[in-house]
Amino acid sequence: MTYAVDDDGFAHADTRDIFPELSDEHVKCLQRYGRQDHLTMGQVLYSRGCDDFDFYFIRDGVVNVYHQGNPGDSDEERIVTAYGRGQFTGELSLLNRQKSLVEAVAQTSCSVIRLTQPQLRRMIANEPNVARIILKAFILRRLRYIRLGLGTVLIAGPSTGSDVVRMLSFLERNDYPVRYLDTNKKGDLGTLSRYTVGPSVRWPVVVCRPGHYMENPTLEEVAGCLGLIETIDHDEVFDVAVIGAGPAGLAAAVYAASEGLATVVVEALAPGGQAGTSSMIENYLGFPLGISGHDLASRAQAQARKFGARMVLPRVVDSVDCRRIPFTLQLHDGEKLRARSVVVATGAHYRRLDLPELARYEGNGIHYAATALEGSLCGNDEICVVGGANSAGQAAVFLSQFADHVHMLVRADSLSGSMSQYLLTRIEASSGITVHPRTEIHELRGKSHLEAVGWLNTETGDSHLHPTSNVFLMLGAVPNTAWLGGCLETDSNGFVLVGNDVSNVSAFSDGRRPAGMESSIPGIFAVGDVRSGSVKRVASAVGSGSIVVSQIHSVLAARQPSVGRGI
């Protein structure tokens, strides 16, 4: 029997996948890792906001899952799911070590098999048959929670505010349910008064738990309030520290953790990197219908956690002490992390326009990502996409669904030299996209928000002022290597040199050359877009992230043969 309450048209997934019933063989498997327990009627299994809760398989009885709203909500408490015989509790919060979004209560007396979080992770790593069912259910339940707005953090502020966009983007990219109130709308402003928010506040206001709100908090403060921040044990030394959770970093984490290496990933914002902001990647192997960068990153993160990789976010690495092993990473919040090897996967960011007024409009009309969040800002507007590579093409095609018209401004004579053919064909066929070759932006205008851009045809010298409130900059690649402080040898553009390209090998006292992805410091590797000579494609990044693990094994084995069990 399947229990499901208030499914809200969640038709894109089979209910049997969201609320599966385990077979007798699966139950025997759970028994090997957990213990038998008995729950009394009314017993609370876990409450919303707790971060140390267990997994329960229900042998007999019913467990209700409640959503507890914030004060002023019309649905302060409601049943969203009821689990019965043969089913199990939990969703991705169990694997992410994050706070629970809901409360679970025994509706009747129950006989259960109970697994702690370490026991659950061990079972998932060792038992692929039952793990596949549980992980799929966890992922779909989290998507369902987002759709239903369960455990929602509330954000209020003007829709044109850069800090509002920054906060919404951070939480949505980290798959956290968000409720947004636009303070420019009277109805939303009236709703906000129920949360006891005063009249004079610094926007955005963030309500992450009942009776408490924060004024224009940092991302770290919000993450801490929601339980997204991973605790670091100062005495722990990891085998591998991956810096950056783009496709390359996530691939390195999956392969390193799956081969028995103690792995930690440090990410400044959200999994996915630049690729995580791509609305649709259609030429990645194995996805004939395409996959969004966000979905690809979410799956990869779940896969890395499945094998035991730790995810530390949002945390910024300020520097690395590469003079001694284990390497010490200094985090921006004062914490330190130690590892026997380091994988630099910090990628690259889009080049900024060399205009004095640019900073004024960043987040206020100037964007460096094109997701549904940014698309929602483009209705009834003609917008500009600046750039000529695949990322710009993907953005133009995606945003043409929202905007009245998309103007692509390209410095080159055409798009054919830098863009995949499938995107070229789609852009040429679209009546909603116009390509302007040999064109550059030379002026930005507006009061508090962008209102118009001036662009120049570099061949004819003709200048044009075009009204628009949204410009998407996707110009070239600048490596994120400033935090390395000159520790590693780089090329003239700042990308990390690896393998045979390294000229300074004085640190290699054993006389060997750096391995293929190894930098000028033994045990520090570079993968993905941050690596000199890399191909700026998701598949290439994933490939380098997977290849590097065998090289890490060789380095660690030479120092300490017992590190990592391998498979």
- Give the tokens for residue 512: 């060997």
Evaluate whether the domain defined by 153-226 bears CATH number 3.40.30. yes
Residue 426 neighbours by CB under 8 Å, 6+ apart: 393, 397
pLDDT interval class at 465 (50, 70, 90): very high
Q: Compare 519 and 506 and report the one with higher pLDDT.
A: 519
Mean pLDDT of 3-12: 37
Mean pLDDT of 471-486: 94
pLDDT interval class at 199 (50, 70, 90): low
Place of tokens 């100062």: 234
- CATH for 15-148 is 2.60.120.10
Residues 167/173/174/175 CA torsion (nearest 10 deg): 110
- CATH for 358-473 is 3.50.50.60
Whether 564 shows a pLDDT value over 50: the answer reads no
Place of tokens 């690809």: 296
Predicted confidence (pLDDT) per residue in 412-432, tens digit: 998 988 899 999 999 999 999
pLDDT interval class at 3 (50, 70, 90): very low
- Give the tokens for residue 55: 């997994």
Whether 184 shows a pLDDT value over 80: the answer reads yes
Looking at 193-197, 343-347, 510-514, which range is the least confident one? 193-197
Q: What integer pLDDT is reported at residue 48 of this predicted model? A: 85
3-state secondary structure of 531: strand
pLDDT interval class at 10 (50, 70, 90): very low
Are the beta carbons of 157 and 183 closer than 8 angstroms?
Answer: yes
Predicted confidence (pLDDT) per residue in 36-71, tens digit: 999 999 999 999 888 889 999 999 999 999 986 654
Place of tokens 């390395």: 484
- Give the tokens for residue 342: 């380091």
Whether 567 shows a pLDDT value over 50: the answer reads no
Q: Where are the alpha helices (DSSP H) in 182-292?
A: 186-192, 219-226, 247-258
Whether 145 shows a pLDDT value over 80: the answer reads yes
CA dist 405 and 289 (Å) reads: 25
Residue 564 neighbours by CB under 8 Å, 6+ apart: 239, 259, 260, 261, 553, 556, 557
Q: Where are the alpha helices (DSSP H) in 127-226?
A: 128-148, 162-173, 186-192, 219-226
Radius of gyration of the chain (CA): 25
Q: What integer pLDDT is reported at residue 162 of this predicted model? A: 87
Predicted confidence (pLDDT) per residue in 215-260, tens digit: 999 999 998 888 888 888 888 999 999 999 999 999 999 999 999 9
pTM exceeding 0.85: yes
Predicted confidence (pLDDT) per residue in 288-309, tens digit: 999 999 999 999 998 999 898 9
Percent of the chain with pLDDT over 70: 94
Q: What integer pLDDT is reported at residue 4 of this predicted model? A: 39
Give Cα 165 to chain centroid, integer Å.
16
Q: What integer pLDDT is reported at residue 76 of this predicted model? A: 55
Closest CA to 110 of 188, 45, 175: 45
Place of tokens 């930098």: 519
Place of tokens 């690259």: 348
Are the beta carbons of 68 and 29 closer than 8 angstroms?
Answer: no
CA dist 103 and 59 (Å) reads: 20
Residue 49 neighbours by CB under 8 Å, 6+ apart: 99, 100, 209, 227
Which DSSP letter does residue 347 get? -
Q: Average pLDDT of the chain?
A: 89
Q: Compare 359 and 210 and report the one with higher pLDDT.
A: 359
Neighbours of 398 (CB within 10 A): 22
- Phi-psi region at 142: left, alpha or beta (left = phi > 0; alpha = psi -120 to 50): alpha
Bridge partners (DSSP) listed for residue 434: 407
Are the beta carbons of 527 and 343 closer than 8 angstroms?
Answer: yes
Mean pLDDT of 205-222: 86
Residue 405 neighbours by CB under 8 Å, 6+ apart: 382, 383, 432, 433, 434
pLDDT interval class at 97 (50, 70, 90): confident
Q: Compare 414 and 385 and report the one with higher pLDDT.
A: 385
- Residue 341: what are its φ and ψ, rounded to 5°? -145, 155
Q: What integer pLDDT is reported at residue 200 of this predicted model? A: 74
Q: What integer pLDDT is reported at residue 210 of this predicted model? A: 66
Whether 13 shows a pLDDT value over 90: the answer reads no
Whether 178 shows a pLDDT value over 90: the answer reads no
pLDDT interval class at 77 (50, 70, 90): low
Chain region(s) in the chain for CATH 3.50.50.60: 237-349+479-559, 358-473
- CATH for 237-349+479-559 is 3.50.50.60
Which DSSP letter does residue 229 get? P
Q: What integer pLDDT is reported at residue 348 of this predicted model? A: 93
Q: What integer pLDDT is reported at residue 75 of this predicted model? A: 47
Closest CA to 530 of 398, 375, 345, 356: 345
Whether 566 shows a pLDDT value over 50: the answer reads no
- Residue 253: what are its φ and ψ, rounded to 5°? -65, -45
Chain region(s) in the chain for CATH 3.40.30: 153-226
